[in-house]
A and B are shown apart, each in its own frame.
Chain A
């Protein structure tokens, strides 16, 4: 390698142009800014993703809570208990209507509470029974009182204005 001595004029001519330097520096700044922006967006998205995931987990938990309630309400133990509380009695005498042949099979007989095939108390254990139906004869009776007052029902038939939903406890 050799080092040359040059005249001031030549040196002036050889000096790098200011515009090239400016372009270089501005270019660098732009690249850095772009990178920074990209990073910020990515990081923001990561936080957003984390938040959405936590939301999803919360919703899944909600689904599970509701599912367990539905399971419990739909269990035969709860249904049998609720039916008993409403004073319903299973009627073993089956009567079938054949719509095509216009025939009735079987002898219709009213259910006899003293001769019901099922024990009124629940004998099949279920420790998962957390949520139970809350209707009873009294809650349904209160619905009847409302409906009996309806004038367009002169026959005195009981029409429930609302389906006795299942208030849970």
Chain B
């Protein structure tokens, strides 16, 4: 049995060694699978997995009919890897193999990129993996370059902003910087609506770079930005900007602005400016022209304020449409050295409130207005919306200057009646006229209708508050008196629109320069149509035109814009006639022609 024992021993020895090896493997296994597991898994993931940012698209900005004012597009940086630059092999349709020399590729690229070949050639030399040929090329160029199938050309894609209508509403929309950060206007103010939330996903890929199926995990879901809907009508906005630009060129003015507002809703249909900014290329405009002056620039309004003074006189019951005051060319005030003059020399008139507006008489305005205590007038001015920002809170919006009534000096007490010693923005003045046109109720202006999200939800809808400034009857009466400006006023009659009853007020305001007033003016015309059922307010201001000492040049601008608005919105011409109200130089009723 000795051989049996020896076999048993050898077999036992073999088993022992096998067990030992298995044990060793086991230990290694535990080491890999348990002890170092996390570290190894991480290393392997690092080698295979790719984390990718899913870029959320910034939302669109649309006008009131859905026309797109701003959208997100993709742009491409074109890069090369100089290290890999080599002739390109192309196969023709019949399978012939051609080797295209680098020089020819360079020429082809140069042609597509619109840069000289001599500029490209040096970038193709070197040992690096990266050289940039062109930045921000559009999809068409990108596509054409891809067609060339050059293996050493590659692209970096990124989202960019496109404003298809250029400077149309550019002052309102604002713009974004090269890094996609909103820098101005509604782009910035409504960034929380427009900006999306970038997503992130991780996936594994094979050695050839192909994504391994079912390996992707979205670690952060993508959330595209919402679309911002404005009350602006892009076509009318273009029209108004075109008219204003023409006028600014013609008059060598600093700038001009025009607002169109819906009387019954407070919606801003047009907020046009010249010069304007093309958000595609903001650097082409001067820094001061890149914002919106309608919201950001305050100026002394001048005589357009008289319509509001007349409204106050009527609403407080201080006088009615038949009452007259003696209106000399120059009026001494109740303090030493104090006097006001009219803008043109005339014999002593006896003016009604209609006459005040028609002749734009400062002396008559003061005589009517000073009968109202200044505290009451101050309250009216506040209710009309002066001295504070509008509800829109536009980026950098000015609140204008309305000094507290106890700070009014003797002169300010009178000058505020005809628009001096107070400064206002275009939006404030348009809103004040909106109150008159809307039966005495001032509505918060609206510029943004809301933010439309992918899931159909609408957020950021404006909460509009309203305040009654005038009684309905007195607001109507004020409109009828404003109509006399357009019927009989020397300047105002140029604002008449055939077929429609129009009311308005001219303004020629001096502009402070240093401690006094300069020789150039801010000329305005604010008007309403149709008077029998007011639909739209149009306010035009031209700032510092050369050689204009009255507001004559604003009337064609007002007329063109108002006429276009009435036509655009199919407002039927008036069927009624104005009422006979005294507005002559001696308080008489004048015959209409």
Contact = CB atoms under 8 A, between A and B. Distances in A.
Interface of A: 1-3, 5, 42-43, 45-47, 49-50, 58, 61-62, 64-65, 67-68, 71-72, 74-77, 80, 92-94, 96, 98, 105-107, 117-119, 122-130
B414 interface: no
A147 B330 CA distance: 71
Contacts of A124: 166-168, 238, 241-242, 245, 276
25 contacts: A1-B12, A1-B15, A3-B7, A45-B213, A46-B213, A47-B210, A50-B210, A62-B143, A65-B140, A67-B73, A68-B138, A71-B162, A74-B164, A75-B164, A75-B168, A76-B238, A117-B556, A123-B246, A123-B274, A124-B168, A124-B276, A125-B276, A127-B284, A128-B166, A129-B166
Interface of B: 4, 7-8, 11-12, 15, 67-68, 71, 73-74, 138-140, 142-143, 162-168, 206, 210-213, 234-235, 238-239, 241-243, 245-246, 249, 274, 276, 278, 280-281, 284, 498-499, 556, 559-560, 563-564, 566-567, 570, 572-573
A128 B211 contact: no
Given A74-B164, A98-B572, A124-B167, A49 B213 contact: yes
B564 A65 contact: no
A46 B212 contact: yes
Per CB-CB distance, the 4 closest pairs between chain A and chain B, nearest first, are A126-B166, A71-B164, A123-B245, A117-B560
B225 to A, nearest CB: 17
A75 B165 contact: yes
A76 B65 CA distance: 14
A129 B165 CA distance: 8
A54 to B, nearest CB: 10
A45 B215 CA distance: 13
Contact of B143 (A61, A67, A72, A117): A61
A68 B162 contact: yes
Contact of A76 (B8, B206, B234): B234
Contacts of A129: 166
A123 B166 contact: no
A133 to B, nearest CB: 14
A63 B165 CA distance: 19
Among A92, A93, A94, chain B packs the most CB atoms within 10 A around the CB of A94
A42 B560 contact: no
Contacts of B278: 125-127
A78 B280 CA distance: 16
A107 B143 contact: no
Contact of A49 (B7, B140, B211): B211
A128 B163 contact: yes
Nearest to B241: A124
A123 B235 CA distance: 14
A80 B499 contact: no
Contacts of B4: 3, 5
B175 to A, nearest CB: 12
Contact of B245 (A72, A96, A119): A119
Contacts of A62: 143
B166 A75 contact: yes
Contacts of B162: 68, 71, 128
Given A94-B573, A130-B138, 7 more contacts: A5-B4, A50-B210, A64-B74, A75-B168, A93-B498, A123-B245, A128-B164
Contacts of A128: 162-166, 280
Nearest to A131: B140
A17 to B, nearest CB: 25
B572 A96 contact: yes
Given A71-B162, A77-B166, A128-B166, A123 B213 contact: no
Contacts of B206: 46
Q: Which of B143, B238, B249, B498 has the largest number of chain A CB atoms within 10 A?
A: B238
Contact of A123 (B7, B73, B241): B241
A77 B499 contact: no
Contacts of A123: 241-242, 245-246, 249, 274
A43 B4 CA distance: 57
Contact of A117 (B167, B243, B245): B243
B7 to A, nearest CB: 6
B62 to A, nearest CB: 12
Contact of A127 (B73, B210, B280, B499): B280
A126 B280 contact: yes
Contacts of A2: 8
B211 A50 contact: yes
Contacts of A127: 166, 278, 280-281, 284
B241 A117 contact: no
B239 A118 contact: yes
B547 to A, nearest CB: 20
A68 B139 contact: yes
Contacts of B212: 46
Contact of B139 (A1, A65, A126): A65
Contact of B242 (A3, A5, A98, A118): A118
Given A5-B4, A96-B570, A77 B560 contact: no
Contacts of A72: 164
A76 B168 contact: yes
A58 B246 CA distance: 43
Contact of B499 (A58, A65, A71, A107): A107
Contacts of B572: 96, 98, 105
A158 B4 CA distance: 120
B165 A77 contact: yes
A142 B305 CA distance: 57
A75 B169 CA distance: 12
